[in-house]
């Protein structure tokens, strides 16, 4: 990788310690998390047992569209992976820096709704920025 490449430096990656990955943690967020719903996302927030705030993602497989042949499984995987990459990038750039660390840190779970497959990057970004504003207003 070249020096200019962000992925080569490792400095712009989504750090592992900032991710909610364990299924027990995800289930706990679904049980006790406070829910915020946007057009294409469900966001659950709860106090974190970790030392820093963490973000997790749940992106269900896309629904089969009417008249779509069964051979479109690969296309569905491509759409799902694209949606996951978009959400992770927006969270890395926009949300991580705004989240508290130390005492008062949060666990956040972003769950894509079926409508998320039909919206673009800017719509997802504006919805997560709306959630960021909600989170920041809750702290004060």
**Coil/strand/helix, residue 64:** coil
CA separation for the pair 136, 87 (Å, rounded): 19
Separation in Å, CA 51 to CA 39, 99, 110: 31, 12, 20
Separation in Å, CA 105 to CA 54, 102, 133: 8, 6, 16
Tens of pLDDT along 120-138? Answer: 999 999 999 999 888 887 6
Query: Which residue, 110, 114, 119, is CA-closest to 60?
Result: 114
Q: Are residues 26 and 109 in contact, defined by beta-carbon separation less than 8 angstroms?
A: yes
- Provide the mean pLDDT of the chain: 80
Tens of pLDDT along 33-79? Answer: 889 999 999 999 888 887 778 888 989 988 776 666 665 666 888 89
Q: Is the pLDDT of residue 6 over 50?
A: no
Host H or E run for residue 120:
none
- Domains, the chain, in order of start with CATH, read 13-139 (3.30.230.10)
Mean pLDDT for the stretch of residues 72-99: 85
User: Concatenated DSSP letters for 61-73?
Assistant: PPPPPTT--GGGH
């Amino acid at each position: 990788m070249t020096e200019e490449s962000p992925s080569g430096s490792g400095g712009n990656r989504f750090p592992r310690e900032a991710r909610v990955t364990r299924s027990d943690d995800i289930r706990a967020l679904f049980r006790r998390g406070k829910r915020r719903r946007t057009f294409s996302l469900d966001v659950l927030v709860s106090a974190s047992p970790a030392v820093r705030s963490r973000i997790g993602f749940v992106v269900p497989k896309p629904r089969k569209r009417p008249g779509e042949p069964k051979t479109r499984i690969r296309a569905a995987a491509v759409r799902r992976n694209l949606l996951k990459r978009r959400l992770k990038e927006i969270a890395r750039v926009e949300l991580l820096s705004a989240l508290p660390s130390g005492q008062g840190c949060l666990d956040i779970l972003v769950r894509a709704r079926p409508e998320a497959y039909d919206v673009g990057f800017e719509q997802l970004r504006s919805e997560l920025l709306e959630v960021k504003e909600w989170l920041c207003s809750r702290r004060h």
